[in-house]
Amino acid sequence: MAAGVSETFAAIDWSAPWLAPWRGLGQPLAQQLQHDPTVHRALQTAAPPGAPVAFVPQSDLPEATAYEQHIWDTRSVPTRDNLHDFFNGLVWQHLPHTKRRLNQLQAQAIAADGVQAVRGPLRDALTVFDENGALLQAPDALWDALRARDWQRLFIDLRPLWAEARLVLVGHALLEKLVVPRKPMVAHVYQAPSAIESIADVDAWLAQEIQSQTWAAKPFTPLPVLGVPGWWPANEVPGFYADAQVFRPLRAAPVP
């Protein structure tokens, strides 16, 4: 568990805007888990027919077996009774093709290189997105400002444009941490086309988009998520964005 995050499923505020895509399934499961905190059983009960994986107890993971390799080989996800694995299961339920693709590439890298003390570039990038990733559908002007780390333009000058944007958090560690929101929390954001509307279509698109040749370079942009308009009352005050420890300027390119 992340530091400061309660184990209590009752602590989840399902009215939080970042939980909107997960609320329909997640809220009743969290209520169920307040009475029977067996996460794998709750997730498995809610799994649709033909789901790509089953949820099993953490004890099913053999010693000295890599977690990702086990999932790929057995189509089962070892699951602990905590918030981290609860949110991981919710993402599996909503983005099964994406999660399966992430798992496939992890397993292929493990098969090729083994489990090393330091992950290689591809496994590192896949893990960053799986744990802390998000998708942003937004007008080009917002993306230009985000990539430039021009926080004044992104969040103040162009604030009305956020009505045309959609940010979907997919990193289960980030969802877990946001149970106790703190200003410095940052997502690693990947650009998604605005034309895609349903979560199922997002899932199908993203699963095709994840390719080892491009993702090893970490094609993500950092975004302090509580700066998103409408996501946190404190950001209604313009001075909120003056905190350079959170809203950091773009690093200058190194001199050749």
User: Has residue 29 got a pLDDT over 70?
Assistant: yes
pLDDT at 117 (0 to 100): 57
- The SS3 call for residue 166 is strand
Q: Where are the beta strands (DSSP E) in the chain?
A: 54-57, 76-79, 133-137, 166-169, 186-191, 221-224
pLDDT at 112 (0 to 100): 80
Q: Which of 85, 78, 83 is nearest to 58 (CA)?
A: 78
**Chain segment 172-192, per-residue pLDDT in tens:** 999 999 999 999 999 999 999
Average pLDDT score, the chain: 92
Q: Do 192 and 104 contact (CB within 8 A), yes or no?
A: no
Q: Where are the beta strands (DSSP E) in 94-245?
A: 133-137, 166-169, 186-191, 221-224
Cα 194 to Cα 159, 162, 224, distances in angstroms: 18, 12, 21
Beta-bridge mates of residue 222: 188
**Chain segment 117-172, per-residue pLDDT in tens:** 567 889 999 999 999 999 999 999 999 999 999 999 999 999 999 999 999 999 99
Report DSSP letters for 169-187, one per residue.
Answer: E--HHHHHHTTS--TT-EE
Average pLDDT over residues 75-91: 96
As a whole-number percent, the residues of the chain with pLDDT over 90 amount to 83
Q: Are strands 76-79 and 54-57 parallel, antiparallel or unpaired?
A: parallel
pLDDT band for position 254 (cuts 50, 70, 90): low
User: Has residue 255 got a pLDDT over 50?
Assistant: no
Q: Do 30 and 11 contact (CB within 8 A), yes or no?
A: no
Alpha carbon distance 146, 141 (integer Å): 9
As a whole-number percent, the residues of the chain with pLDDT over 70 amount to 93
